[in-house]
Structures are given as C-alpha cells and as structure tokens.
A = this chain, B = another copy of it.
C-alpha cells in the first residue's frame, strides 16, 4: 500500500514536494491526541497517517517527547489566540462572558482535544500546559466579572466557579453526553446556567421562591466556529 506521492513541483518558492515540516508533525500529533489521548501520539502510526515513515520524523524531532512538547506548545498558543480573538469583539463585558461560555461549551462538545488533554493531565508536560492555560483563562473571566462591578475577591471566586462549570460541562458532554439537553433545550440550559453564574449575591437562603427565568437576554448563538 504505497502512497502515490505527487511531485507537483511548482516553479518557485514553496518546495511543493510532499516534504513535511515539524509543524505538520505537531499538528498531526494534536489531531491524534484529540482522538486517542496522549497514548495515541505514537511515531509509527503518525507516520503511516502522514504517508511517510519514521525516517522523516526522526529528522525533525529528536524523540517522541520533543513531539509532544511541540504539540502542546502549539495547542497552548492557538488557544490563547482564540481567546484573544473572542475578546476583541464585544464591548459589553456581560455579553463577552456569555459568548465566551457558550462558544466554549459548543466547541468542547465538538472538539475532543481539550478533554483529551485533561485526561492526560498525569503527564507533567500536559499538566504544565494545562496549568498555564487554565490560569490565564480564569484570570480573564475574573477580569470580566470585575468589569461587571463585582469586587475583586468575588470576581475571582466567580471566575473560578464559571470555569469549573465550563470544565464540568465539557467533561459531561464528552463522557456522558446523554445527560445534557440537546437542541433547543441545550441553549435554554446554558442560559439558565449563565443566569445563575451572573446573578448577584446577597439573597441567601434555601427557600425556593421560584419564578420564571426572564428570557430577556438569551445567549443562543448556534453558530459553528473556526479556529
């Protein structure tokens, strides 16, 4: 089963032969990681998938660990950029937080990479990357809460809770998707969650004086996104 390698040599610049770069390998590693976790980042299967052999890999990387590190680095920066891209749009911090949460959960439901990384947190490199990204994200969410008028410690606490909720949601949507509402009900659920996360504190008590959640600021954005 030899691959038909097309040698379409463009006359200029981009050496259009099927030669690979270290980044190609890192991307493939990330993809494999999303599908099978850290253990799926294996040189020989990746080589087969890329239509090449180990000879190529060991030219670009000293060993498998180096590949893992490169992949994590790539993930980390791409995620940071994605978050920053989210930031730039909305002027209203409340709407920013809503969009952040909704798009984050949507993406987590589709893309297993993030959950896979969490699942591989036993590895110290993965743990380090996760720690950096997590800190940055929680800090960012806390800043949004602060912008909304919450005092610093309360903003920090709520940022942590919001991110905790996001993580749990991502976990559920991947491991036990049946528990989560689907379709319209999903957006309604997310709205209710956001309502809970944003509701001001102060009315302590367990007695449920329950009324309808007023649907004035729905956050349903059923949009597919790219990264």
Contacts and interface: CB of A to CB of B under 8 A. Distances in A.
A214 B213 CA distance: 24
A176 B135 CA distance: 9
Contacts of A200: 203, 205, 207-210
B196 A196 contact: yes
Interface in A118-142: 118-122, 127, 130-131, 134-135, 138
A180 B154 contact: no
A165 interface: yes
A62 interface: no
A205 B217 CA distance: 9
B127 A206 contact: no
Contacts of A216: 204
A168 interface: yes
Nearest to A195: B204
A200 B210 CA distance: 6
A149 B212 CA distance: 14
A174 interface: yes
A193 B198 CA distance: 12
